[in-house]
Structure 1
Amino acid sequence: MTPHTPLSGSAISDSSGSSDPSGSPGSSEATGAEYVLSAAQLRERGVTGARLAARCRAGGPWQPLLPGVYLLRRGVPTGAEVLRGVLLYAGRPPGRTGGSVRPYGDAVLTGAAALALYGFGSVPSPEEAGAVDVLVPRTRRLRSTGCARIVRTAALPEPVPVGGLPVAPVARAVADAVTVTADAAGVRLLVTEAVGGGHCDPATLVGELERAGLLRRPYVLDAVRTLLAEGRSRAEERLYALVYAFGLPEPLWNVELRLPAGPGLGPVDAYWPERSVAVVLDVPPGGDCGPGRDGDAGWAAGVRRREHLERLGITVVPLTPRKLRDWPEQQAMVVGTALAAAVDREPPAYVVALPR
């Protein structure tokens, strides 16, 4: 059998060349599916236990890949074959969820293997990694073995289909990869590529790292703070460019608002005092990312500050780094509309804008 041609009915045959009555396993969901089948799938195709054992003996045409999972050819398995094998080993029998069939049951790829499928350049390929992390429910009684590293979780994420395989969302996959990475430089590469490459936004990533308790590790916390500082700097540059490129009025940049002789109202990134319109960049502050700190509390405080400004008659326009990067024209329209609408509003409370 030629190792890199699609599996035909003759692939499941005995040594004399006679074919099994099952014929072809059918079309694959991803590259590698043609040659990787579980023992249950082989039984469905008429392969008996004795015939399976004979084909997997020394010199035979097949080989075990993981317990209960077989590679129907000789040679080194490809990355796609490794991933499918791990999913078949870890997943329960195929189930139906929300009207759709999940061929790998409740198994979800995560960690470096998932990030490789997303196209990350800072992780090794499944062939090079040596271990593939796969999420299963905490109640599963399953051991890590061979290339399959079992990661139990109380809450399985909703998988993202990538190449026909169930994959954890990027932020969760990064957190699981960071969990087994003790190298500070490696962690910086992961979080930088996740956000800088546009795979996920900073708030989602920080929230996932916090949920996993990873911000208690000093090198992870340092990587996140560096990332957020760089992300804010890039977002500020894009905000400056947006104002000038789309002909918006010149605002006061990076000011602290406060009531006369009163308490501070919080910082804003751009402020038009004659229109009482403020732009706030939605970038998680590095000070909220620390051991024992609840990141949600920082966001809640930010929401309260904005609500207070709105009650004083100041229009607050929140912009995210991703929106500024991907949809600058749309964001310019949002800011321009807020400035135009301010003309017809009641005069707001008088506030003072101070440099910060």
Structure 2
Amino acid sequence: MTQNTPLSPRPVDEATRRVQSAAQLRARGVTAAHTAAQCLPGGPWQQLLPSVYLLHRGAPTNDDRVRGALLYAGRPPGAARRAVPAQHGPGYGESMVTGLTALALYGFSSAPTMIALHRIDVLVPRTRRLRSTRFVQVIRSADLPRPQRRLGVPLAPVERALADAVASLTDASTVRRILTEAVRGGHCEPGSVVRELDDAKLLGRAHVVDAVDALLVEGRAVAEGRLYGMVRSHGLPQPLWNVELSLPGGGFLGGVDAYWPEQAVALEIGTRSPREERVLHTAERERLERLGVAVVRVTPRQLRESAAQLSVVLRTAMMAAEDREPASCVVILPR
């Protein structure tokens, strides 16, 4: 049997035909003895990982390594290995690629190229008894995320892949580059990244804290640029940008990203960490609203994905100013 010969009358695409698990081969009628014979010196096959085989003699490609890692991590435990019906898919189970490998497959320029990666991180359920081996690094999780698929390969969501990558990195500049690219490239928002890093207990590392500070600055700059564009493209009145509001006697009320004084409408972009936002923004918003200032809070994701709807929300808030009690006098200062 050669690498170009189908394993059964059922069609198999080229990518999965090149890499097969022992269970998949058995399900297609290939015995363990035949598999072993094919892998003898000079034979047409070779063993890539425990119970995973390359059905060709050449060096494994990046695609071969990724799919082989998923087959190794996704193989059913115990007696369940004896039968893997073809309709159950390529045999990856619940496993998914994460860490730097996933970022490379997402197209991150700041992540090492696939050819430079010496290991492939694979996320599996915590209950799996599976050892890391050769180029496969097994990462266990009690709460697996829903994977994203790229060319049939299940990848951990960008936020989780970032956290798993950061956990393995000690170089501060690399951590900063990949976190910044995640936001600048529109892959995810700062708040969700910080939340994932917090869940992974990585915010106690000094080089990660510095990178997160840069991430939040980057996220705010990107969000502010989208806000300027929304105001301009949807014909909204020009606000006062980045101002602080206070009482005439000097009591600080809070900083806002945009303020329309005639309508007493303020806008805040939520880019702080979730913990800070719960404490700071709630108190500031309540003080402003008691004084008759309508506060509209938006997220970077809303600015990216729902600019038209946000412009309607702002117009509605401005129109509602005619029906509200006049706002108390506030002092406006540059922030």
Q: Normalized against structure 2, the TM-score is what?
A: 0.87
Q: Does 1:27 align with 2:12?
A: yes
- Does residue 1:81 correspond to 2:81, yes or no? no
- 1:224, distance to aligned residue in structure 2 (A): 1.7
Q: Secondary structure at the match of 1:32?
A: helix
State the match for 1:290 in structure 2. Answer: none
Q: Which residue of the partner structure matches residue 131 of structure 1?
A: 119
Change (3 A) 1:337 1:36: same
- Provide the rounded CA distance (Å) in 2 between the counterparts of 1:45 and 1:247: 63
AA of the residue aligned to 2:330: V
Task: Give the percent of matched residue pairs that are identical in Structure 1 and Structure 2.
Answer: 53
Alignment match, 2:207: 219
Secondary structure, counterpart of 2:140 in structure 1: strand
Letter in 2 for 1:218: A
Identify the residue that residue 131 of structure 2 maps to in structure 1. 143
> For residue 276 of structure 2, what is the aligned residue in structure 1?
298
Which stretch of the first structure deviates more once superposed, 345-354 or 196-205? 345-354
Query: 1:76 & 1:109 partners in 2: Cα distance?
Result: 21
Structure showing the higher helix proportion among its residues: 2
> CA 1:332–1:2 in 2, change beyond 3 Å: closer, same or farther?
farther
User: Against the structure 1 CA distance between its residues 243 and 77, is the aligned structure 2 distance closer, same or farther, given a 3 Å change threshold?
Assistant: same
Conserved 8 A contact 2:98-2:122: yes
Structure 1 residue ranges without an equivalent (≥5)? 13-22, 285-294
What is the letter of the counterpart of residue 337 of structure 1? T
- The number of equivalent residue pairs is 325
Is the contact made by 1:82 and 1:126 (CA closer than 8 Å) also made in structure 2? no
Question: Partner letter of residue 186 of structure 2?
Answer: G
Q: Does the C-alpha gap of structure 1 residues 204 and 265 become closer, same or farther in structure 2, counting only changes over 3 Å? A: same
Corresponding position of 2:167? 179
Looking at structure 2, the residues matched to 70 and 40 of structure 1 have their Cα atoms a distance apart, in angstroms, of 11
- Decide whether the 8 Å contact of 1:92 with 1:106 is kept in 2: no
**Which structure 2 residue ranges, 5 or more long, are not aligned?**
81-86
Matches of residues 315-326 of structure 1 in structure 2 within 5 Å? 315-325=294-304
Alignment of 1:1-356 (within 5 A): 7-9=4-6, 12=7, 23-24=8-9, 26-28=11-13, 32-93=15-76, 103-261=91-249, 263-284=251-272, 295-301=273-279, 302-325=281-304, 327-356=306-335
Q: Provide closer, same or farther for how the CA distance between residues 242 and 42 of structure 1 changes in structure 2, counting only shifts above 3 A.
A: closer
Aligned equivalents of 1:243 and 1:126: distance in 2? 41
Letter in 2 for 1:297: R
Amino acid aligned to 1:71:
L
Partner of 2:83: none
State how far apart, in whole Å, the 2-side matches of 1:338 and 1:27 are: 58
Partner letter of residue 340 of structure 1?
M
Aligned-pair CA distance for 1:172:
0.5
- Distance across 2 between alignment mates of 1:261 and 1:318: 26
Q: How far off its partner does 1:322 sit?
A: 4.0
Counterpart code for 1:48? T
SS of residue paired to 1:171: helix
Within 1, Cα distance between the matches of 2:223 and 2:34? Answer: 62
Which one is further off, 85-94 or 38-47? 85-94
Query: What's the offset of the Cα at 1:344?
Result: 2.2
CA apart distance, 1:327: 4.9
- Output the CA distance in 1 between the equivalents of 2:274 and 2:320: 32
